[in-house]
Amino acid sequence: MVFSSPVFLFLFLPLVFTLHWLAQETKLRNLLLLGASLFFYAWGEPAFAAIMLASITFNYGMGLAIAKITSKIPKALALAAAIGVNLAVLVYFKYQTFLIENLNQFFNYFSYRFQFNQTDIKLPIGISFFTFQAISYIVDVYRHRVQAQSSVFRLGLYIALFPQLIAGPIVRYENIEQQLQQRYINLTQVGLGIRWFIIGLGKKMLIANTLAAPVDKIFALPSGEVSFPLAWVAVGCYTLQIYFDFSGYSDMAIGLGKMFGFDFCENFRYPYISASIRDFWRRWHISLSTWFRDYLFIPLGGSRLSPLRTYFNLVVVFFLCGLWHGASWNFVVWGLFHGLFAIWERLGLLQFLEKRPWLSPLGHIYTLLVVMVGWVFFRADRLGDARVFLQAMANLTSNTNNTAYYLGYYVNAEIWLAMGAGIIGSCPILPYLVKLYHKFSRNCTEKTAFFAEIIISLTTTTCLAAIFLACAAKLAAGTYNPFIYFRF
């Protein structure tokens, strides 16, 4: 079930929210949300709900077992077994075909006659997200950061909670442990959650979906026939599309969480204003980058060891980060591409820029350029397609005179408007205006502040209503574009 669908917006969500509001006991609310979450997950493919239930049961049992074991070595072996099983399930469903294809190519290259048979395996949606959540829970129990959950229903709700189940953010158990035990909801919190949800819905429906049209058309052009301006328009649109698509989902998840009494972590913090790749990963998909930091980079030694070992750790992290996003060499190259610049910055580039504040604009330009070039590997179907597209961006391909490749066929007024809104929305303009308002309210009379509050409230409500109506109109027109991160 998709957040930006009529059945969710006008049937599932109102029904579940009403029942959850009427149920006063947290235990009853948890059972209701767990049932609703499993139904939400089973909506597209009921068979995958069995995998979800198996994951919940297994990690529940392993959490209790690890908590009870007192000996160091058996405890570590139990942890390794739990992580191994979780990763084995992820590899089986997500990477089996990729591994078999590459092994068969390897055997063909060396003229071996042995070949693995390939089977068509459907990927359970969101498996990367709920697997990482389960692993973080098991590891935190092992580290004594949290106590093992004694109720399988509470742990099931943590893993299967529908607002963040499909595409994150990756929620740490310690962050919602108390909310699973007891939570209180008031109208102010619900109103704030609705605001988050509508903003996220607008990001997805009005900006990301609009910009998806030229991106899909231009990337579908025959290889080598993309002109210089078309290549940059496509990459520019995709840069905005993927940000507003994914941050829109995260905003909706945060909003839904607040409506049901949960506080999820912020997943995006204006990543396109970053002045370095390291800063970019502190702002982009924060729940994933911090997961890799806490459960992989630091256990590998982090930056505490020699510089060479630190660079090795960074390569491992970015390699696996790329592979996490998809079973394709494109994603591996994308991850290593970011890792290369992360290492370059540690070698002195970042220090060079920080010591020269007047070069700050250059740092922003460099970071945005690296990110945009990286998105080509992320979006292209094959590495060869990415290479040709990068050649077009560098104006190294011959321009075609075919009218099918004119810019006007792919970009209209609506797309230019969406691009403008996307560029503005990618900058922290709204927080700056809020800061100015708070400064103004502190320095003005009580009466002036009262009227200013009324005006801002009315303006905000009107804008949110307009955004929701515009999204409803898009839905009525049959506009549909799946969330990009659903496939991860």
Residues serving a catalytic function are 325
264 HSE (CA, 13 A, CB side) = 30
| CA neighbor of 345 nearest in space, from 280, 425, 436 | 280
Q: Are 177 and 295 in contact (CB under 8 A)?
A: no
The string of DSSP letters for 95-106 reads IHHHHHHHHHHH
Q: Is 400 strand, coil or helix?
A: coil
Q: Are 148 and 67 in contact (CB under 8 A)?
A: yes
R_g over Cα of the chain:
24
Q: Are 348 and 394 in contact (CB under 8 A)?
A: no
What distance in Å separates the CA atoms of residue 288 and residue 85, rounded to the nearest whole number? 20
Paired tokens of 336: 């290593």
What distance in Å separates the CA atoms of residue 156 and residue 481, rounded to the nearest whole number? 29
Task: Kindly report each contact of residues 147-152 with a partner whose C-beta sits within 8 Å and lies 24 or more positions away, as own/partner.
Answer: 147/67, 148/63, 148/64, 148/66, 148/67, 149/60, 149/63, 149/173, 149/177, 149/180, 150/64, 152/56, 152/57, 152/60
Amino acid (1-letter code) at residue 421: A
What distance in Å separates the CA atoms of residue 418 and residue 471, rounded to the nearest whole number? 14
- Those residues with Cβ within 8 angstroms of residue 150's Cβ, 6 or more apart along the chain or in another chain: 64
Q: Are 246 and 268 in contact (CB under 8 A)?
A: yes
Phi-psi region of 144 (alpha: psi -120 to 50; beta: other; left: phi over 0): left
The string of DSSP letters for 254-307 reads HHHHHHTT--PPP--S-GGG-SSHHHHHHHSSHHHHHHHIIIIITTTTTTSS-H
What distance in Å separates the CA atoms of residue 308 and residue 299, rounded to the nearest whole number? 16
Cα–Cα distances in Å, from 417 out to 103, 387, 466? 47, 30, 16
- Sign of the CA dihedral with 58 first, then 59, 60, and 64 last: positive
Rounded to 10°, the helix 72-90/47-68 angle is: 170
Q: Are 90 and 127 in contact (CB under 8 A)?
A: yes
